[in-house]
Structure 1
Amino acid sequence: MTADDDSAGPELGPVDYVVVEWAGTQPTGEALPYLMDLIDRGIVRLIDIVFVSKATDGTIAELGIGELGAEFAIFDGAATSILDDTDIREAAAALEPGSSAAILVWENLWAAPFATALRNNGGRVVASGRIPVDALLETLDAIEE
């Protein structure tokens, strides 16, 4: 297969999502430099980002970038609409009333060549998951004892 032959499809890395909640407040932007660093270094590619709030009565509202502060202007126009209303409602169901959240979808660019090689070789992901950091730390502490 040559570089011009894309019969196996584009080179894509695993795609993840995360819903980050801020109870009783909106995000401050403190984490933005870390996200931008990952994007600038080509480690991840931001696919979609949506900010929402959940009122105390359970009403869900999408927050505009302009409502969040100047530091969030970098995301103006970044939303791709991959996340539709159903996705947003489902994500918001996990939120506590009176909170706000960011819903992010990103591609793990660092893993794209590996994932593509596996697909080209007939491999497929049959299970995936995350180990919570607290659980990992507890296990490591137990091993050391």
Structure 2
Amino acid sequence: MARGASGGERGRPERFVPDLDLVEYVVINLPDLGSSLTVAQALRSLVETSRIRILDLVGVVTDAEGRYTVAEPELVAALADLRSVDGEVGGLLSDDDIALACRALRAGSSALILVAEDLWAQELADAARSGGGQIVGGERIPRHRLEQARHARQSGPAGPGGEPT
């Protein structure tokens, strides 16, 4: 997987055009970039089974004060599994995008920031378009919100005084 190839806009290859309705970003927090081997293996599997197409990927490392340093994927040994994965990486994440994503990280941690096309949703997007519609948004629900909802559901509705009924 190369970063910033020639041809196409901003180094994007001309052999494919991503479906712009299906592009998302994911921030994967890790203790350090050396811990990204299993993530690289999972990404490789997702690409090889045509569930995603990687459009951009960077590693970041934050220091004790929360300042970050960008590590290109080809320089991270644990990401070597991705070197032969089909795709072009680069040009989508700006410095501002990376800085914004890093605000969600604890100081002294690392992350991979991934921009991917959700190929698994192509059939859904095509169906929406054939009916005159379009996929216009989506968002990952934070884990803590799902855990709170599950806890509230298990506790049951609160009666007088806040006790479950």
TM range (shorter): 0.7 to 0.9
> 2:137 aligned with 1:130, yes or no?
no
Match of 1:19 among 6, 11, 27: 27
Name the structure, 1 or 2, with higher relative contact order (CA <8 Å, separation 6+). 1
Q: Residue 98 of structure 1 aligns with which residue?
A: 108
TM-score, normalised to structure 2, is: 0.66
Letter in 1 for 2:114: L
**Cα distance in 2 for residues equivalent to 1:138 and 1:34:** 27
* Larger helix percent: 2
**Cα distance in 2 for residues equivalent to 1:48 and 1:100:** 17
Q: Residue 119 of structure 1 aligns with which residue?
A: 129
Q: What does the per-residue CA deviation read over 1:31-66, in whole Å, with 9 as the maximum and x for residues that have no partner?
A: 222221111011111111010111112322111335
Structure 1 unaligned residues grouped into runs of 5+: 1-9
**Whose radius of gyration is greater, 1 or 2?**
2
Structure 2 unaligned residues grouped into runs of 5+: 1-16, 157-165
> 2:149 aligned with 1:142, yes or no?
no
Aligned residues: 133
TM-score, normalised to structure 1, is: 0.73
| Partner SS for 2:30 | strand
Alignment RMSD: 2.9
Determine if contact 1:46/1:107 at 8 Å carries over to the other structure: yes
Determine if contact 1:49/1:79 at 8 Å carries over to the other structure: yes
Letter in 1 for 2:94: D
Determine if contact 2:41/2:81 at 8 Å carries over to the other structure: no
